[in-house]
Amino acid sequence: MRQPLVAGNWKLNGSNASIEALLNAIIEGSTALDKVAVAVCAPYVYLPGVNDLLQRHLSSIRLGAQDVSEHSAGAYTGEVSAAMLQEFGCSYVLVGHSERRALFGEHDADSANKFAAARRQGLTPILCVGETLAEREQGATEAVVARQLDAVITLTGVVSLADAVIAYEPVWAIGTGKTASPQQAQDVHAFIRSKLAEADTAVANGVQILYGGSVKGANAAELFAMADIDGGLIGGASLDAQDFLAICEAGNNA
């Protein structure tokens, strides 16, 4: 039985004051949720403050970053290593988010190197995969997702996905208000699991596969009810404590 996970991706949003208020509300509202794991992925500069606040409240909410360098140290101005993230309490890190791929030129191989860097340091990567609208319309969804997964499997082996997290995020559903239907999402999640099962059934059965793309309190329960959907990666709605908590509750009841 896979534990559901709901992870918020705050993206490039917030200030010291707004993040403190948001986090306090999430901490308070999630204390009774004992079945779902909850995580928040904060911008780098807020990680120490968020980590301090979570520790002060003895909160079980886990901390994540939104990106990581593939390098461990050296002349890479602007980069942040997996070891640095770990020092500030991160247990998760997003890898290969579609915004990194589309806006910052991150290729499958770069995402795979970041995945490897996270794993080397003991962080749990949340590997984001998903197709654009054009790719879906060409019938290429499975080929795209398979290619993105294969980049990681080729570099680090299928076993590196054991205890990792995969987030299926159709690009056309991110921040657009257009959610994949539960069946559309389930079909891709089942494809991912069956692809992994060809290499290793234990890995396929154990890996958490989150759905991301315009998840809200109002649609979370029907998505999380699907057999291969193990929770959600939440963008916009994670900035609203009440909406995020409603999604967490749907995860808790899944």
**Which CB, 100 or 204, lies closer to ligand PEP?**
100
Residue 170 DSSP SS3: coil
Exactly one of 169, 228, 243, 249 binds ligand PEP (CB under 6 A); which one? 169
- Regarding 215 and contact with ligand PEP (CB under 6 A), the answer is yes
Active-site entry in 131, 135, 169, 249: 169
Residue 99 among the catalytic residues: no
Residue 97 among the catalytic residues: yes
**Which CB, 123 or 158, lies closer to ligand PEP?**
123
Exactly one of 121, 148, 214, 252 binds ligand PEP (CB under 6 A); which one? 214
Residue 9 DSSP SS3: strand
Q: In b/e form, how buried is each residue of 20-38, taking b as 16+ CB within 10 angstroms?
A: eebbeebbebbeebeebbb
**Which CB, 41 or 53, lies closer to ligand PEP?**
41
Exactly one of 42, 152, 185, 233 binds ligand PEP (CB under 6 A); which one? 233
Q: CB neighbours of 143 closer than 8 A, spacing ≥ 6?
A: none
Q: Which residues on adjacent β-strands are paired with residue 128?
A: 167
- Regarding 145 and contact with ligand PEP (CB under 6 A), the answer is no
How many Å apart are CA 121 and CA 140, to the nearest integer? 34
Residue 188 beta carbon to ligand PEP: minimum distance, rounded to whole angstroms: 14
Instruction: Transcribe 40-68 into DSSP letters.
Output: EEE-GGGHHHHHHHHHHTT---EEEES--
Residue 242 beta carbon to ligand PEP: minimum distance, rounded to whole angstroms: 15
154: amino acid identity, one letter:
T
Active site residues: 97, 169
